[in-house]
Structure 1
Amino acid sequence: MSGPRSEVAARAGALLRLHRDPALLTVVNIWDAVSAAVVAARPGTTALATASHSIAASRGYPDGEVIGVDEMIEEVRRIVAAVDLPVSADLEGGYGNAPETIRKAIGVGAVGANIEDQLKPLTEAARQVEAVMAAAEAEGVPDFVLNARTDAFLRAGDRDPADVLADATARGRAFLDAGAPVVFVPGRLSEPQVAHLSDAFGPQRLTLIGVPGSISLARMADLGVARVSYGPWSQRVALTALASLVEAVHNGSGLPDGTRVLN
Protein backbone atom coordinates (compact mmCIF):
# COMPACT_ATOMS: atom_id res chain seq x y z
CA MET A 1 0.00 0.00 0.00
CA SER A 2 1.34 3.43 -0.95
CA GLY A 3 0.03 6.94 -1.42
CA PRO A 4 -2.62 8.76 0.63
CA ARG A 5 -4.16 5.63 2.17
CA SER A 6 -0.75 4.48 3.46
CA GLU A 7 -0.35 7.89 5.11
CA VAL A 8 -3.76 7.46 6.78
CA ALA A 9 -2.75 4.00 7.98
CA ALA A 10 0.51 5.36 9.39
CA ARG A 11 -1.31 8.12 11.27
CA ALA A 12 -3.76 5.58 12.66
CA GLY A 13 -0.84 3.55 13.97
CA ALA A 14 0.60 6.68 15.58
CA LEU A 15 -2.73 7.48 17.22
CA LEU A 16 -3.09 3.94 18.52
CA ARG A 17 0.40 4.11 20.04
CA LEU A 18 -0.54 7.34 21.81
CA HIS A 19 -3.46 5.52 23.42
CA ARG A 20 -1.30 2.55 24.40
CA ASP A 21 1.40 4.74 25.97
CA PRO A 22 1.12 4.77 29.79
CA ALA A 23 1.22 8.57 29.63
CA LEU A 24 -2.30 9.98 29.59
CA LEU A 25 -3.31 11.28 26.15
CA THR A 26 -5.06 14.65 26.55
CA VAL A 27 -7.20 15.88 23.66
CA VAL A 28 -8.84 19.32 23.60
CA ASN A 29 -11.67 18.94 21.09
CA ILE A 30 -12.02 21.17 18.05
CA TRP A 31 -14.83 22.02 15.64
CA ASP A 32 -13.40 23.74 12.55
CA ALA A 33 -10.16 24.38 10.72
CA VAL A 34 -9.10 27.42 12.74
CA SER A 35 -9.76 25.81 16.12
CA ALA A 36 -7.85 22.75 14.89
CA ALA A 37 -4.90 24.86 13.80
CA VAL A 38 -4.77 26.72 17.11
CA VAL A 39 -4.89 23.54 19.21
CA ALA A 40 -2.42 21.70 16.97
CA ALA A 41 0.12 24.52 17.32
CA ARG A 42 0.19 24.39 21.12
CA PRO A 43 3.24 22.59 22.54
CA GLY A 44 2.30 19.16 23.85
CA THR A 45 -0.56 18.55 21.42
CA THR A 46 -0.05 15.15 19.78
CA ALA A 47 -3.52 14.40 18.38
CA LEU A 48 -6.84 16.07 17.69
CA ALA A 49 -10.45 15.05 18.07
CA THR A 50 -13.58 16.73 16.80
CA ALA A 51 -16.68 17.29 18.92
CA SER A 52 -19.88 16.54 17.02
CA HIS A 53 -21.92 18.79 19.30
CA SER A 54 -19.58 21.70 18.60
CA ILE A 55 -19.51 21.16 14.84
CA ALA A 56 -23.29 20.99 14.75
CA ALA A 57 -23.62 24.14 16.87
CA SER A 58 -21.18 26.08 14.69
CA ARG A 59 -23.38 25.28 11.69
CA GLY A 60 -26.67 26.09 13.36
CA TYR A 61 -27.85 22.58 14.24
CA PRO A 62 -28.79 20.97 17.55
CA ASP A 63 -26.83 17.95 18.69
CA GLY A 64 -28.00 14.45 17.80
CA GLU A 65 -27.34 13.67 14.12
CA VAL A 66 -29.52 16.55 12.88
CA ILE A 67 -26.58 17.74 10.80
CA GLY A 68 -26.30 15.53 7.73
CA VAL A 69 -23.55 12.94 7.58
CA ASP A 70 -21.98 14.42 4.45
CA GLU A 71 -21.87 17.89 6.01
CA MET A 72 -20.24 16.42 9.12
CA ILE A 73 -17.71 14.52 7.03
CA GLU A 74 -16.93 17.65 5.02
CA GLU A 75 -16.04 19.50 8.22
CA VAL A 76 -13.81 16.59 9.24
CA ARG A 77 -12.09 16.84 5.84
CA ARG A 78 -11.39 20.54 6.37
CA ILE A 79 -9.98 19.87 9.82
CA VAL A 80 -7.73 17.04 8.63
CA ALA A 81 -6.43 19.26 5.80
CA ALA A 82 -5.59 22.06 8.25
CA VAL A 83 -3.19 20.08 10.47
CA ASP A 84 -0.38 17.54 10.41
CA LEU A 85 -1.56 15.48 13.38
CA PRO A 86 -3.80 12.40 13.69
CA VAL A 87 -7.47 13.37 13.81
CA SER A 88 -10.27 11.36 15.42
CA ALA A 89 -13.83 12.24 14.41
CA ASP A 90 -16.86 12.25 16.68
CA LEU A 91 -19.52 10.64 14.48
CA GLU A 92 -22.32 10.25 17.04
CA GLY A 93 -24.17 6.96 16.50
CA GLY A 94 -22.91 6.45 12.95
CA TYR A 95 -25.85 8.06 11.12
CA GLY A 96 -27.75 4.82 10.70
CA ASN A 97 -24.87 3.00 9.00
CA ALA A 98 -21.76 3.18 11.15
CA PRO A 99 -19.47 1.11 8.88
CA GLU A 100 -20.28 3.27 5.85
CA THR A 101 -19.82 6.44 7.88
CA ILE A 102 -16.41 5.17 9.01
CA ARG A 103 -15.45 4.50 5.37
CA LYS A 104 -16.36 8.09 4.54
CA ALA A 105 -14.34 9.39 7.49
CA ILE A 106 -11.30 7.35 6.49
CA GLY A 107 -11.74 8.66 2.97
CA VAL A 108 -11.13 12.22 4.18
CA GLY A 109 -8.21 11.22 6.41
CA ALA A 110 -9.69 10.55 9.85
CA VAL A 111 -7.82 7.83 11.72
CA GLY A 112 -10.14 7.33 14.69
CA ALA A 113 -13.76 7.91 15.63
CA ASN A 114 -16.27 7.97 18.44
CA ILE A 115 -19.35 5.86 17.78
CA GLU A 116 -22.11 5.85 20.42
CA ASP A 117 -23.95 2.70 21.42
CA GLN A 118 -27.05 4.80 22.26
CA LEU A 119 -27.88 1.93 24.63
CA LYS A 120 -28.85 -0.39 21.80
CA PRO A 121 -29.22 -4.03 22.89
CA LEU A 122 -25.73 -5.22 23.76
CA THR A 123 -25.45 -7.85 21.04
CA GLU A 124 -26.49 -5.30 18.41
CA ALA A 125 -24.07 -2.69 19.76
CA ALA A 126 -21.20 -5.19 19.81
CA ARG A 127 -21.96 -6.27 16.24
CA GLN A 128 -21.78 -2.63 15.21
CA VAL A 129 -18.31 -2.34 16.76
CA GLU A 130 -17.18 -5.47 14.94
CA ALA A 131 -18.59 -4.15 11.64
CA VAL A 132 -16.84 -0.79 12.06
CA MET A 133 -13.48 -2.41 12.70
CA ALA A 134 -13.99 -4.74 9.72
CA ALA A 135 -14.79 -1.74 7.52
CA ALA A 136 -11.63 0.05 8.67
CA GLU A 137 -9.50 -3.00 7.94
CA ALA A 138 -11.10 -3.34 4.50
CA GLU A 139 -10.13 0.30 3.87
CA GLY A 140 -6.50 -0.54 4.67
CA VAL A 141 -6.50 1.02 8.16
CA PRO A 142 -6.44 -1.90 10.64
CA ASP A 143 -5.14 0.34 13.45
CA PHE A 144 -8.14 2.65 13.20
CA VAL A 145 -8.82 3.90 16.73
CA LEU A 146 -12.49 3.29 17.36
CA ASN A 147 -13.33 4.96 20.65
CA ALA A 148 -16.39 2.79 21.26
CA ARG A 149 -18.72 4.87 23.41
CA THR A 150 -21.30 3.61 25.83
CA ASP A 151 -24.01 5.98 26.98
CA ALA A 152 -24.67 4.00 30.15
CA PHE A 153 -23.88 6.93 32.46
CA LEU A 154 -25.24 9.69 30.22
CA ARG A 155 -28.61 7.96 29.99
CA ALA A 156 -28.65 6.56 33.52
CA GLY A 157 -31.70 8.50 34.66
CA ASP A 158 -32.69 7.36 38.14
CA ARG A 159 -31.18 3.88 37.83
CA ASP A 160 -29.16 2.50 40.72
CA PRO A 161 -25.52 3.65 40.23
CA ALA A 162 -24.30 0.10 40.82
CA ASP A 163 -26.48 -1.15 37.96
CA VAL A 164 -25.23 1.63 35.70
CA LEU A 165 -21.62 0.75 36.45
CA ALA A 166 -22.31 -2.93 35.82
CA ASP A 167 -23.95 -2.07 32.48
CA ALA A 168 -21.03 0.14 31.42
CA THR A 169 -18.61 -2.62 32.39
CA ALA A 170 -20.43 -5.31 30.41
CA ARG A 171 -20.76 -3.07 27.37
CA GLY A 172 -17.14 -2.00 27.46
CA ARG A 173 -15.88 -5.56 27.72
CA ALA A 174 -18.10 -6.61 24.83
CA PHE A 175 -16.81 -3.75 22.68
CA LEU A 176 -13.21 -4.66 23.43
CA ASP A 177 -13.95 -8.30 22.58
CA ALA A 178 -15.49 -7.09 19.30
CA GLY A 179 -12.22 -5.39 18.36
CA ALA A 180 -12.45 -1.84 19.65
CA PRO A 181 -9.05 -0.67 20.93
CA VAL A 182 -10.56 1.64 23.56
CA VAL A 183 -13.91 2.28 25.23
CA PHE A 184 -15.30 5.76 25.94
CA VAL A 185 -17.44 6.12 29.06
CA PRO A 186 -18.54 9.77 29.22
CA GLY A 187 -20.07 11.25 32.35
CA ARG A 188 -18.92 12.65 35.67
CA LEU A 189 -17.48 9.48 37.13
CA SER A 190 -16.17 9.11 40.64
CA GLU A 191 -12.68 7.84 41.35
CA PRO A 192 -13.96 4.40 42.46
CA GLN A 193 -16.00 4.12 39.26
CA VAL A 194 -12.99 5.02 37.11
CA ALA A 195 -10.81 2.56 39.00
CA HIS A 196 -13.38 -0.20 38.53
CA LEU A 197 -13.69 0.37 34.79
CA SER A 198 -9.94 0.64 34.29
CA ASP A 199 -9.42 -2.63 36.14
CA ALA A 200 -12.22 -4.31 34.18
CA PHE A 201 -10.97 -3.18 30.78
CA GLY A 202 -7.24 -3.27 31.41
CA PRO A 203 -4.68 -0.47 31.36
CA GLN A 204 -4.91 2.06 28.52
CA ARG A 205 -8.32 0.83 27.37
CA LEU A 206 -10.62 3.36 29.07
CA THR A 207 -11.19 6.89 27.79
CA LEU A 208 -13.02 9.64 29.66
CA ILE A 209 -14.37 13.15 29.21
CA GLY A 210 -13.22 16.04 31.34
CA VAL A 211 -16.19 17.87 32.86
CA PRO A 212 -16.57 20.15 35.88
CA GLY A 213 -15.99 17.93 38.90
CA SER A 214 -13.93 15.25 37.11
CA ILE A 215 -11.08 13.61 38.95
CA SER A 216 -7.67 15.12 38.25
CA LEU A 217 -5.63 14.31 35.15
CA ALA A 218 -2.85 13.01 37.38
CA ARG A 219 -5.23 10.56 39.05
CA MET A 220 -6.59 9.42 35.69
CA ALA A 221 -3.04 8.65 34.63
CA ASP A 222 -2.38 6.76 37.87
CA LEU A 223 -5.49 4.64 37.27
CA GLY A 224 -4.42 3.63 33.76
CA VAL A 225 -6.83 5.76 31.74
CA ALA A 226 -5.77 5.97 28.09
CA ARG A 227 -7.21 9.33 27.09
CA VAL A 228 -9.26 12.26 28.29
CA SER A 229 -11.07 14.59 25.90
CA TYR A 230 -13.32 17.58 26.50
CA GLY A 231 -16.21 17.26 24.06
CA PRO A 232 -18.23 20.49 23.73
CA TRP A 233 -16.55 22.05 26.76
CA SER A 234 -13.66 23.49 24.73
CA GLN A 235 -16.11 25.37 22.52
CA ARG A 236 -17.96 26.55 25.62
CA VAL A 237 -14.70 27.93 27.01
CA ALA A 238 -14.11 29.80 23.73
CA LEU A 239 -17.66 31.15 23.66
CA THR A 240 -17.36 32.21 27.30
CA ALA A 241 -14.34 34.31 26.32
CA LEU A 242 -16.31 35.79 23.44
CA ALA A 243 -19.24 36.64 25.70
CA SER A 244 -16.84 38.27 28.16
CA LEU A 245 -15.43 40.43 25.37
CA VAL A 246 -18.92 41.54 24.37
CA GLU A 247 -19.73 42.43 27.96
CA ALA A 248 -16.46 44.36 28.32
CA VAL A 249 -17.13 46.34 25.13
CA HIS A 250 -20.68 47.11 26.23
CA ASN A 251 -19.27 48.34 29.54
CA GLY A 252 -16.92 50.75 27.79
CA SER A 253 -13.78 48.63 27.85
CA GLY A 254 -12.19 46.70 24.99
CA LEU A 255 -9.91 43.83 24.15
CA PRO A 256 -8.48 42.11 27.20
CA ASP A 257 -4.75 42.32 27.88
CA GLY A 258 -2.88 39.31 26.58
CA THR A 259 -5.02 38.80 23.48
CA ARG A 260 -2.90 36.98 20.91
CA VAL A 261 -3.03 36.41 17.17
CA LEU A 262 -3.18 32.60 16.98
CA ASN A 263 -4.25 31.90 13.40
Structure 2
Amino acid sequence: MADQLRILHHGDAPLLLPNAWDPLSAAIVAAAGFPAVATASSAVALSRGYDDGEQLPFDELVTTVRRIATAVEVPVSVDFERGYGATPDDVRRNTVKLVAAGGVGVNIEDSVDHETLRPVEEQCERISVVRAAGLELGVPIVINARTDAFIVGGKAGTEAAAIAVSRLGAYREAGADCVYPILCDDLTVLDRIHQATEAPINVMLRPSTAPLSSLMDVGVRRISMGPGLLAIAAGAVGEAARRMASGDLDLIGMPRVTTTEMRQHLGI
Protein backbone atom coordinates (compact mmCIF):
# COMPACT_ATOMS: atom_id res chain seq x y z
CA MET A 1 0.00 0.00 0.00
CA ALA A 2 2.84 2.44 0.75
CA ASP A 3 4.36 1.93 -2.69
CA GLN A 4 0.91 2.40 -4.20
CA LEU A 5 0.52 5.71 -2.37
CA ARG A 6 3.99 6.86 -3.42
CA ILE A 7 3.26 6.15 -7.09
CA LEU A 8 0.12 8.30 -6.88
CA HIS A 9 2.38 11.32 -6.21
CA HIS A 10 4.08 10.89 -9.59
CA GLY A 11 1.20 10.49 -12.02
CA ASP A 12 0.05 12.60 -14.94
CA ALA A 13 -2.59 14.18 -12.69
CA PRO A 14 -2.27 15.29 -9.06
CA LEU A 15 -3.48 13.15 -6.19
CA LEU A 16 -6.70 14.71 -4.93
CA LEU A 17 -7.51 14.10 -1.27
CA PRO A 18 -10.81 15.25 0.29
CA ASN A 19 -9.65 14.55 3.84
CA ALA A 20 -11.70 12.18 5.98
CA TRP A 21 -12.19 12.08 9.74
CA ASP A 22 -13.82 8.72 10.50
CA PRO A 23 -14.50 5.33 8.88
CA LEU A 24 -17.74 6.41 7.20
CA SER A 25 -16.35 9.58 5.63
CA ALA A 26 -13.28 7.62 4.49
CA ALA A 27 -15.42 4.87 2.97
CA ILE A 28 -17.59 7.41 1.13
CA VAL A 29 -14.49 9.12 -0.25
CA ALA A 30 -13.05 5.81 -1.43
CA ALA A 31 -16.38 4.78 -2.96
CA ALA A 32 -16.38 8.03 -4.96
CA GLY A 33 -13.31 6.75 -6.76
CA PHE A 34 -10.44 8.38 -4.90
CA PRO A 35 -7.38 6.09 -4.93
CA ALA A 36 -6.25 7.02 -1.41
CA VAL A 37 -7.64 8.43 1.82
CA ALA A 38 -5.98 10.98 4.09
CA THR A 39 -7.03 12.28 7.47
CA ALA A 40 -6.88 15.92 8.57
CA SER A 41 -5.92 16.44 12.20
CA SER A 42 -8.37 19.28 12.73
CA ALA A 43 -11.24 17.30 11.21
CA VAL A 44 -10.51 14.22 13.32
CA ALA A 45 -10.13 16.29 16.49
CA LEU A 46 -13.09 18.64 16.03
CA SER A 47 -15.44 15.79 15.14
CA ARG A 48 -14.60 14.26 18.51
CA GLY A 49 -14.91 17.43 20.57
CA TYR A 50 -11.21 18.32 20.78
CA ASP A 51 -9.25 21.25 19.42
CA ASP A 52 -6.51 20.76 16.84
CA GLY A 53 -2.86 20.72 17.87
CA GLU A 54 -2.48 17.24 19.38
CA GLN A 55 -5.33 17.82 21.84
CA LEU A 56 -6.90 14.57 20.62
CA PRO A 57 -5.43 11.73 22.72
CA PHE A 58 -2.99 9.73 20.62
CA ASP A 59 -4.71 6.44 21.42
CA GLU A 60 -7.92 7.84 19.91
CA LEU A 61 -6.02 8.76 16.75
CA VAL A 62 -4.59 5.25 16.50
CA THR A 63 -8.06 3.75 16.96
CA THR A 64 -9.45 6.05 14.27
CA VAL A 65 -6.69 5.06 11.84
CA ARG A 66 -7.27 1.37 12.51
CA ARG A 67 -11.01 1.70 11.89
CA ILE A 68 -10.48 3.74 8.72
CA ALA A 69 -7.94 1.26 7.37
CA THR A 70 -10.42 -1.54 8.04
CA ALA A 71 -13.20 0.32 6.23
CA VAL A 72 -11.33 1.03 2.98
CA GLU A 73 -9.20 -0.89 0.51
CA VAL A 74 -7.00 2.04 -0.51
CA PRO A 75 -3.87 3.50 1.10
CA VAL A 76 -4.41 5.58 4.23
CA SER A 77 -2.26 8.64 5.03
CA VAL A 78 -2.41 10.06 8.55
CA ASP A 79 -2.04 13.64 9.74
CA PHE A 80 0.55 12.99 12.45
CA GLU A 81 0.80 16.68 13.41
CA ARG A 82 4.13 17.12 15.25
CA GLY A 83 4.55 13.42 15.97
CA TYR A 84 2.81 13.39 19.35
CA GLY A 85 6.15 13.20 21.14
CA ALA A 86 8.66 15.33 23.01
CA THR A 87 11.60 13.30 21.75
CA PRO A 88 12.52 11.53 18.51
CA ASP A 89 12.16 8.20 20.31
CA ASP A 90 8.57 9.12 21.22
CA VAL A 91 7.93 9.87 17.55
CA ARG A 92 9.46 6.53 16.56
CA ARG A 93 7.21 4.58 18.93
CA ASN A 94 4.14 6.50 17.79
CA THR A 95 4.98 5.92 14.13
CA VAL A 96 5.19 2.19 14.76
CA LYS A 97 1.71 2.31 16.32
CA LEU A 98 0.24 4.19 13.35
CA VAL A 99 1.79 1.82 10.83
CA ALA A 100 0.60 -1.19 12.83
CA ALA A 101 -2.90 0.34 12.73
CA GLY A 102 -2.82 0.51 8.93
CA GLY A 103 -1.34 3.90 8.08
CA VAL A 104 1.10 3.91 5.18
CA GLY A 105 1.67 7.66 4.93
CA VAL A 106 2.04 10.55 7.36
CA ASN A 107 2.05 14.33 7.41
CA ILE A 108 4.53 15.71 9.91
CA GLU A 109 4.80 19.45 10.58
CA ASP A 110 7.64 21.59 11.85
CA SER A 111 6.01 24.01 14.26
CA VAL A 112 6.43 23.37 17.97
CA ASP A 113 3.24 25.01 19.16
CA HIS A 114 1.84 26.67 16.04
CA GLU A 115 3.84 29.73 17.16
CA THR A 116 7.49 28.77 16.65
CA LEU A 117 9.35 26.54 14.22
CA ARG A 118 11.35 23.58 15.47
CA PRO A 119 15.08 23.81 14.71
CA VAL A 120 15.74 22.36 11.27
CA GLU A 121 18.16 19.72 12.52
CA GLU A 122 15.64 18.45 15.05
CA GLN A 123 12.87 18.28 12.46
CA CYS A 124 15.14 16.41 10.05
CA GLU A 125 15.88 13.90 12.81
CA ARG A 126 12.14 13.37 13.31
CA ILE A 127 11.65 12.75 9.60
CA SER A 128 14.51 10.24 9.60
CA VAL A 129 13.02 8.52 12.64
CA VAL A 130 9.63 8.20 10.93
CA ARG A 131 11.33 6.62 7.92
CA ALA A 132 13.24 4.14 10.09
CA ALA A 133 10.17 3.26 12.15
CA GLY A 134 8.18 2.37 9.06
CA LEU A 135 10.97 0.17 7.77
CA GLU A 136 11.03 -1.66 11.11
CA LEU A 137 7.64 -3.02 10.09
CA GLY A 138 8.56 -3.44 6.43
CA VAL A 139 6.52 -0.41 5.35
CA PRO A 140 8.29 2.28 3.28
CA ILE A 141 6.00 4.94 4.71
CA VAL A 142 5.23 7.97 2.52
CA ILE A 143 6.33 11.11 4.37
CA ASN A 144 4.65 14.42 3.56
CA ALA A 145 6.85 17.02 5.27
CA ARG A 146 4.96 20.18 6.13
CA THR A 147 6.47 23.53 6.98
CA ASP A 148 4.50 26.12 8.88
CA ALA A 149 6.77 28.93 7.69
CA PHE A 150 3.78 30.78 6.24
CA ILE A 151 1.81 30.48 9.51
CA VAL A 152 4.16 31.22 12.40
CA GLY A 153 6.58 33.97 13.28
CA GLY A 154 4.86 36.83 11.51
CA LYS A 155 7.42 36.77 8.70
CA ALA A 156 6.91 38.85 5.57
CA GLY A 157 6.10 36.93 2.41
CA THR A 158 9.60 36.97 0.95
CA GLU A 159 11.22 35.94 4.24
CA ALA A 160 8.69 33.17 4.84
CA ALA A 161 9.28 31.93 1.29
CA ALA A 162 13.04 31.78 1.82
CA ILE A 163 12.55 29.89 5.09
CA ALA A 164 10.17 27.44 3.42
CA VAL A 165 12.52 26.76 0.50
CA SER A 166 15.44 26.13 2.84
CA ARG A 167 13.52 23.96 5.28
CA LEU A 168 11.74 21.84 2.70
CA GLY A 169 15.03 21.23 0.90
CA ALA A 170 16.48 19.92 4.16
CA TYR A 171 13.42 17.78 4.84
CA ARG A 172 13.68 16.26 1.39
CA GLU A 173 17.30 15.32 2.05
CA ALA A 174 16.23 13.82 5.39
CA GLY A 175 13.86 11.43 3.61
CA ALA A 176 10.60 13.24 2.84
CA ASP A 177 8.72 11.99 -0.22
CA CYS A 178 6.47 15.03 -0.60
CA VAL A 179 6.72 18.61 0.69
CA TYR A 180 3.88 20.73 2.00
CA PRO A 181 4.25 24.52 2.32
CA ILE A 182 0.85 24.94 3.92
CA LEU A 183 -1.01 28.17 3.03
CA CYS A 184 1.39 28.98 0.20
CA ASP A 185 -0.52 29.77 -3.00
CA ASP A 186 2.16 31.83 -4.76
CA LEU A 187 3.09 30.00 -7.97
CA THR A 188 6.52 31.61 -8.09
CA VAL A 189 7.32 30.40 -4.57
CA LEU A 190 5.94 26.95 -5.29
CA ASP A 191 8.18 26.76 -8.35
CA ARG A 192 11.19 27.74 -6.23
CA ILE A 193 10.32 24.99 -3.78
CA HIS A 194 10.01 22.47 -6.58
CA GLN A 195 13.35 23.47 -8.07
CA ALA A 196 15.02 23.22 -4.66
CA THR A 197 13.51 19.89 -3.61
CA GLU A 198 12.62 18.08 -6.86
CA ALA A 199 9.77 16.64 -4.80
CA PRO A 200 6.02 16.50 -5.34
CA ILE A 201 4.35 19.46 -3.66
CA ASN A 202 1.16 19.35 -1.59
CA VAL A 203 -1.14 22.37 -1.48
CA MET A 204 -4.38 22.81 0.41
CA LEU A 205 -7.44 23.69 -1.64
CA ARG A 206 -8.56 27.23 -0.83
CA PRO A 207 -10.45 30.02 -2.64
CA SER A 208 -7.06 31.50 -3.59
CA THR A 209 -5.71 28.25 -5.04
CA ALA A 210 -4.51 28.60 -8.63
CA PRO A 211 -6.03 26.58 -11.51
CA LEU A 212 -5.00 22.95 -11.72
CA SER A 213 -2.93 23.37 -14.88
CA SER A 214 -0.90 26.18 -13.29
CA LEU A 215 -0.30 24.11 -10.16
CA MET A 216 0.89 21.17 -12.23
CA ASP A 217 3.40 23.41 -14.01
CA VAL A 218 5.16 24.23 -10.72
CA GLY A 219 5.34 20.69 -9.34
CA VAL A 220 2.11 20.34 -7.38
CA ARG A 221 1.11 16.68 -7.34
CA ARG A 222 -1.06 16.48 -4.21
CA ILE A 223 -4.07 18.64 -3.39
CA SER A 224 -5.82 18.18 -0.05
CA MET A 225 -8.76 19.87 1.65
CA GLY A 226 -7.73 19.92 5.31
CA PRO A 227 -10.95 20.28 7.33
CA GLY A 228 -12.87 21.42 4.24
CA LEU A 229 -14.93 18.26 3.79
CA LEU A 230 -15.94 18.25 7.46
CA ALA A 231 -16.92 21.92 7.11
CA ILE A 232 -19.18 21.04 4.18
CA ALA A 233 -20.76 18.19 6.15
CA ALA A 234 -21.25 20.43 9.19
CA GLY A 235 -22.81 23.05 6.95
CA ALA A 236 -25.32 20.50 5.68
CA VAL A 237 -26.21 19.53 9.26
CA GLY A 238 -26.67 23.18 10.16
CA GLU A 239 -28.88 23.85 7.15
CA ALA A 240 -31.11 20.86 7.90
CA ALA A 241 -31.35 21.84 11.57
CA ARG A 242 -32.25 25.46 10.76
CA ARG A 243 -34.92 24.38 8.30
CA MET A 244 -36.43 21.97 10.79
CA ALA A 245 -36.28 24.58 13.58
CA SER A 246 -38.25 26.97 11.38
CA GLY A 247 -40.97 24.37 10.92
CA ASP A 248 -39.86 23.13 7.51
CA LEU A 249 -40.15 19.35 7.75
CA ASP A 250 -39.68 18.75 4.03
CA LEU A 251 -36.03 17.77 4.08
CA ILE A 252 -36.40 14.95 1.58
CA GLY A 253 -34.73 16.93 -1.18
CA MET A 254 -31.47 17.40 0.69
CA PRO A 255 -28.53 15.20 -0.34
CA ARG A 256 -28.39 12.14 1.85
CA VAL A 257 -26.90 8.70 2.25
CA THR A 258 -29.32 6.07 3.49
CA THR A 259 -28.48 3.90 6.47
CA THR A 260 -28.41 0.91 4.13
CA GLU A 261 -25.85 2.67 1.96
CA MET A 262 -23.81 3.60 5.04
CA ARG A 263 -23.66 -0.05 6.07
CA GLN A 264 -22.65 -1.01 2.55
CA HIS A 265 -19.87 1.57 2.55
CA LEU A 266 -18.58 0.18 5.85
CA GLY A 267 -19.04 -3.44 4.85
CA ILE A 268 -21.17 -4.25 7.88
Q: Which residue of 1 aligns with 2:190?
A: 194
Q: Which residue of 2 aligns with 1:141?
A: 139
Matched, 1:166 2:162: yes
Alignment of 1:24-39 (within 5 A): 24-39=14-29
Q: Which residue of 2 aligns with 1:40?
A: 30
Q: Which residue of 1 aligns with 2:266?
A: none
Relative to the length of structure 2, the TM-score reads 0.88
Given that 1:245 and 1:256 are in contact with CA atoms closer than 8 Å, whether structure 2 keeps it comes out as: no
The letter for the 2-side match of 1:90 is D
The letter for the 1-side match of 2:47 is S
- TM-superposition CA deviations, 1:82-109 (whole Å, max 9, x none): 1101000111101112222111110011
Alignment of 1:55-94 (within 5 A): 55-94=44-83
- In 1, Cα distance between equivalents of 2:203 and 2:5: 16
- TM-superposition CA deviations, 1:6-46 (whole Å, max 9, x none): xxxxx000000001223211000000011111111003x11
- In 1, Cα distance between equivalents of 2:206 and 2:153: 17
Q: Which residue of 2 aligns with 1:112?
A: 105
**Matched residue SS, 1:89:** strand
**Matched residue SS, 2:49:** coil
Given that 1:184 and 1:206 are in contact with CA atoms closer than 8 Å, whether structure 2 keeps it comes out as: yes
Q: Which residue of 1 aligns with 2:119?
A: 121
Q: CA deviation at 1:251?
A: 2.7
Given that 1:15 and 1:47 are in contact with CA atoms closer than 8 Å, whether structure 2 keeps it comes out as: yes
The letter for the 2-side match of 1:103 is V
Q: CA deviation at 1:170?
A: 0.7
- In 2, Cα distance between equivalents of 1:100 and 1:208: 28
Q: CA deviation at 1:60?
A: 0.9
**Matched residue SS, 1:226:** strand
Given that 1:116 and 1:150 are in contact with CA atoms closer than 8 Å, whether structure 2 keeps it comes out as: yes
The letter for the 2-side match of 1:216 is P
- In 1, Cα distance between equivalents of 2:169 and 2:242: 48
Given that 1:98 and 1:115 are in contact with CA atoms closer than 8 Å, whether structure 2 keeps it comes out as: no
Match of 1:155 among 139, 152, 156: 152
Q: Describe the shift of the 1:33–1:175 C-alpha distance in structure 2 as closer, same or farther (beyond 3 A).
A: same
